[in-house]
Amino acid sequence: MRIAIFYETPTQLNFDFLEPFARLLINVDLDNAFTAPTNIFIAAVLVYLQALIFNRIVNNHNLLAKPSFLPGLMFVTGTSLFMPFMILSPALICNFLLIWIIDKFLKLGKSANSITTVFDIGMIIAIGTLVYFPFMAMLLMIFLALLLFRSFNWREWVAGLIGFITVFFFLAVLYYWNDNLSSFYQIWKPLGNKFPSVFKINYNDYLVLIPVIIIIILASLQLRENFFRSFISTRKSFQLLFFMFIVSGASFYLKPDFRTWHFLLCVPPGAVLLAYYFSNAKKRWFYETLFLLFVLSVQYFLFV
């Protein structure tokens, strides 16, 4: 899936490991630490590891009809849709945290007391925000997950916010020690951004999404057909992943200079839906042909 980028390796690739405001907390300069081939190779290894972890989580929570490697396969395929997906980026690092969060969310309905879990999720989201600011949008998912999986408990709703604030409290202390507290307030300015009403899109760059859209539509129809025949926990899990897909995609507005690799955050929840279709499809000749066309279209648009 990554032949194209190795064939046309860029001369230089920058890797912004942390948001500028987090450099006081962890001052690690990796912007030009790797050559372009090394950058691409490390990104491929990270994607492979993420796919294995992601696949295990999906199987452990019985989201598909039977355990398989389909979630991992869809994850790897999804992270190969565009060239920017194949390099080291903050969104790629955050996907480790996103997969971890998905696992914790899906455990909410299985525990008697979830305050500790929600607090941990808040801290994980805060750490992800230090790496990539739009990851903060995942805070919305805490409240959506609690609505789906738990009866109302104000302590659980507050626990996630406290976990998030805890990390940024220590960051604020560092800014205060450096007599730079005014800069700490500037971190939150993107939250006041208006959601853009006009988009400049080169549609030719996104033709590769046509097979993805077709598969998602087929998966949605299949999910709708089996919705009331599946376990309640499975229904809620797919609803959660659907909202996560929307929130991940829409959070780009928190970063004025966002890049295409931002949408890597949509891959984990989207990969489950793709895997659901291929796991439940009946006509083998049709779904295997569809997947082959999917892979060939990805390769074609990467080379042209």
Summarised one tens digit per residue, pLDDT across range 188-245 is 877 776 766 555 666 666 778 888 888 888 888 887 777 666 677 778 888 899 999 9
Mean pLDDT of the 171-186 span? 84
Sequence-distant contacts of 291-299: CB under 8 A, at least 24 apart: 293/211, 294/77, 294/211, 294/212, 294/215, 295/1, 295/77, 297/207, 297/208, 297/210, 297/211, 298/1, 298/77, 298/80, 298/81, 298/208, 299/1, 299/3, 299/4
Mean pLDDT of the 178-196 span? 77
Give me the pLDDT at residue 188, please: 81
Mean pLDDT lowest for which of 46-55, 59-68, 120-129? 59-68
Whose CA is closest to 165, among 136, 206, 194?
A: 136
Q: Identify which has the larger pLDDT, 77 or 16.
A: 77
Cα 40 from Cα 61, distance rounded (Å): 32
Give me the pLDDT at residue 176, please: 87
Give me the percent of the chain exceeding a pLDDT of 70.
Answer: 92
Kindly provide the b/e burial profile for residues 226-237, where b requires at least 16 CB atoms within 10 angstroms of the residue's own CB: eeeeeeeebbbb
Specify the pTM: 0.90
pLDDT, tens only, 290-300: 889 888 888 88
Contact 184, 175 (CB under 8 A): yes
Mean pLDDT of the 155-165 span? 92
Cα 243 from Cα 141, distance rounded (Å): 8
Mean pLDDT lowest for which of 78-92, 150-164, 175-189, 236-250? 175-189
Contact 105, 145 (CB under 8 A): yes
pLDDT, tens only, 121-143: 999 999 999 999 999 999 999 99
Helices 139-149/90-107 angle, 10° precision: 20
Cα 171 from Cα 74, distance rounded (Å): 37
Helix then strand then coil, in percent of the chain rounded to 5, is 75, 0, 25
pLDDT for 52 beyond 90: yes
| Alpha helices (runs of H) in 89-196, residue ranges in sequence order | 90-107, 115-131, 139-149, 154-177, 181-186
Mean pLDDT lowest for which of 48-52, 81-85, 112-116, 261-265? 112-116
pLDDT for 28 beyond 80: no
Give me the pLDDT at residue 304, please: 75
